[in-house]
Structure formats: C-alpha cells, structure tokens
A = this chain, B = another copy of it.
Amino acid sequence: MTTTGKQLFTTLTADGKLTLEVSEENFPAPTGNQVLVKMEAAPINPSDLAILTSAADFENAEYSHGKVVANMPEPFLTGQKNRHGQRLPAGNEGAGTVIATGDSDMAKALMGQRVACVPGNAFSQYAIADAMMCLPLGDHSSEVGASSFVNPMTALGFVETAKMEGHDAIVHLAAASNLGQMLNRICIEDGMKLVNIVRKQEHVDMLKAAGAQYVVNSSADSYMADLRAAIAETGAFLGFDPIGGGQNTDHVLKAMEQVAASQMSEYSRYGSNQDKSMYMYGRLDLGPTILTPSYGLQWRVQGWLLTPFLQKAGMETVIRMRTRVQQNLTTTFASHYKAKVNLEEMLTKEAISDYRQMKTGEKYLVTPWG
C-alpha cells in the first residue's frame, strides 16, 4: 500500500540551473522501525537553505505555480558538483501525526500519536521517519513541536560543548535569533555566563528583557571596547558563530586576545598563552571568513555540526538533552514564526526573497496542508 502526497524537491544541474518544485510522490508503507508521518508543520531553518536556495539568483528567476528555476553563480555551482543532477528532498525537521507504522514495538507504540521528527524531507505532506528519532508531543500541536530538534539540540549542544572543554562562559554571535534566545534561557538556567552579540539596539533590549546580563551591539562605535569589557568580566574564551563570512569571528578572537594580553605580566612576541576558540556553526554570510594576524597563534576556528556532536556526546547525553526539550517545549525551547506558507506559497518570489535573508526573528513555518 502506498500513500500519495505533495513533496518539495531541489535539483541543481551542471548547466547552473537550480529547480525547486512541488510534485506528487508515492510514499511506501513503513517497515521495521519506520513510521509514516502525515506532516503538519516544518520550519525553514538556515541549515535547510544551503540546499534550498544556496546563492542562486532568485531575483531574476522563472516562477510558476509550485515551481521556480534560478541560476546558480560560481563558485557555488562548482562547489556543489556532487549534487549535480540529483533530485533532492529538503526540510530537516517537522511535526505531524503517525498514520502507519512498521512491525517493531517501538514503531507501533507511536501509531496515532503526534510526533516531532527529523526525516530530511519535512517539506512534504508525508514523510517516513525512524521511530527512534521521533519525539512524542503529547497535547502539544505540530506547530509548537515543529522545531523541537535542530534549534533546541544545537543550543543545548553549545552548552554541553563548553562544559566538556572546561569553560563556564560563552560568546554567541547573531544572538537574537530563535536559537540565540533559547541559548540565553538555557544559560540562565544552567549558570553558564553568556556574552550575546547582536546588531540592533532593539535586539539588545529584547535580550535584556529576557534576562540576559551581557549584550553587546556590534553596530555601536564602542563595540570592541564593550566586547572586551564583557569578555574580561565573564572570562569567555569560547564562542559560536552562525555567520561565517566576514570578520565577525576575527573581531571576537581579537577582543579575546586583547583581554588576555592585558592580563599578562610581560610581552610575548607570540601573543598571550590563552587558548581562544571559535566554533562556526553556520554560513548566514556566504562570503569568505577573514582572519587577521591580530591574536598570535594560540587560537582555533572550527566547524560545529549537530550530528557529529551528538555522536561524540553519546546516547546518555543525547537522551538527557531530548528529555529536557520535551519537558520545556513551550517555555525554554519555544520557537516563534513570522509567517506560515504551504508548499506552493513557499516557492513564490515574495516568500523566497524574505526567508532566504534569514532575518533575526523572522522564521517561516511550512504547513503542507495549509
């Protein structure tokens, strides 16, 4: 028995055309530990945009109902050579109702339940998911539960990473995001000091109203001095950057070094001996990352990805994190959306031009039956 429904696909061809298209698909009956979820809500996360929009030119694209074809510029076309010609599903996470299951007890126990899941094709009316990765939502709606994996586990993962590496303070860039607000709440709950960096005064106000102690505005003339003061007070020499491009990470490393150097008793040609670490967990800015020679050689910049982190953290930690998410879905881990779109509305010029900007606090929710 197969189920038929609409699903979004993204295809990049070697001639530089990116096609996003909604089409009717057949979903097979779930087997073993699989469940078939009727998807009711799925967020468009920055991590989805890498495959969905990338750097394509949607300003001059060809739009039709449920379809758009845009040109992909270099070096992004060649950089994604390995996907050329492949028709890929999209949408990391979402929530919906289990309408069929495989034979396993774990799968059967989810029958009829509303669950959050991570199927990889969440922009779809149906999805096959692994029962092991489903989070039962109880009385919560699919909208409330749609974002219960990526952002909550990432924010918790930052705090776990800091603890594992012996830190009790964190710097966070683009800190007014949904993820940033979550991280602020977690850090307050856990007593982890957090230096929030934002670009607008309204975001300073918003985070301060939410209890944040250290919020620095990178648009202010006093940015570097403010950042140094916050780092000196918290001892934050570990940071997380979702922007990637430009000098955001560079400026934080520079401020960390200036604080460390000012605390040294004598000059060293190699800079301070303070370890300085920045994790890049996204590429909101696809421009190159610039690292200036301003902080010696005692530093580290590296990527941070959820899946490898969870593998490294181990099952016990992951279960502890998920239980915490489940128990605090409408408080600590609440998400907010700017707009709801169905699969066809998702592919209009108006919607794409808006959500691809990934503006702070302006996340879209896809409701495939809407």
Which of A's residues lie within 8 Å of B, judged by CB? 47, 50-51, 75, 79, 82-83, 86, 88, 244-245, 250, 261-262, 264, 267, 269-270, 273, 280-283, 286, 288-294, 296-305, 307-308
A292 neighbours in B (Cβ, 8 Å): 75, 288-289
As for how many copies of this chain the complex holds, the number is 2
Q: Is the interface of A mostly helix, strand, loop or mixed?
A: mixed
Of A261, A290, A297, the most chain B CB neighbours within 10 A belong to: A297
The answer for the CA separation of A282 and B293 in the assembled complex, in Å, is 10
B298 touches A303 (CB 8 A): yes
Subset of 29 A-B contacts with CB under 8 Å: A47-B269, A50-B269, A75-B294, A79-B293, A82-B267, A86-B267, A88-B267, A88-B269, A245-B293, A250-B288, A273-B308, A280-B297, A281-B297, A283-B293, A283-B297, A288-B292, A288-B293, A289-B291, A289-B292, A290-B290, A291-B291, A291-B301, A297-B304, A298-B305, A299-B303, A300-B301, A300-B303, A301-B301, A302-B302
The answer for the CA separation of A302 and B280 in the assembled complex, in Å, is 13
The answer for the CA separation of A283 and B286 in the assembled complex, in Å, is 25
The answer for the CA separation of A281 and B293 in the assembled complex, in Å, is 12
A51 neighbours in B (Cβ, 8 Å): 269
Beta-carbon nearest neighbor of A303 in chain B? B297
B82 touches A261 (CB 8 A): yes
Q: Distance (Å) between the CB of A301 and the closest chain B CB?
A: 5
Q: Distance (Å) between the CB of A49 and the closest chain B CB?
A: 9
B293 touches A286 (CB 8 A): yes
B286 touches A289 (CB 8 A): no
A291 neighbours in B (Cβ, 8 Å): 288-289, 291, 301
B289 touches A290 (CB 8 A): yes
Beta-carbon nearest neighbor of A90 in chain B? B269
Q: CB < 8 Å: which of B261, B299, B307 contacts A302?
A: B299
Q: CB < 8 Å: which of B75, B273, B300 contacts A300?
A: B300
A298/B290 contact (C-beta < 8 A), A262-B82, A267-B83, A269-B51 known? no
Q: Distance (Å) between the CB of A294 and the closest chain B CB?
A: 5
A308 touches B298 (CB 8 A): yes
Beta-carbon nearest neighbor of A275 in chain B? B308
Beta-carbon nearest neighbor of A120 in chain B? B269
A296 neighbours in B (Cβ, 8 Å): 303, 305
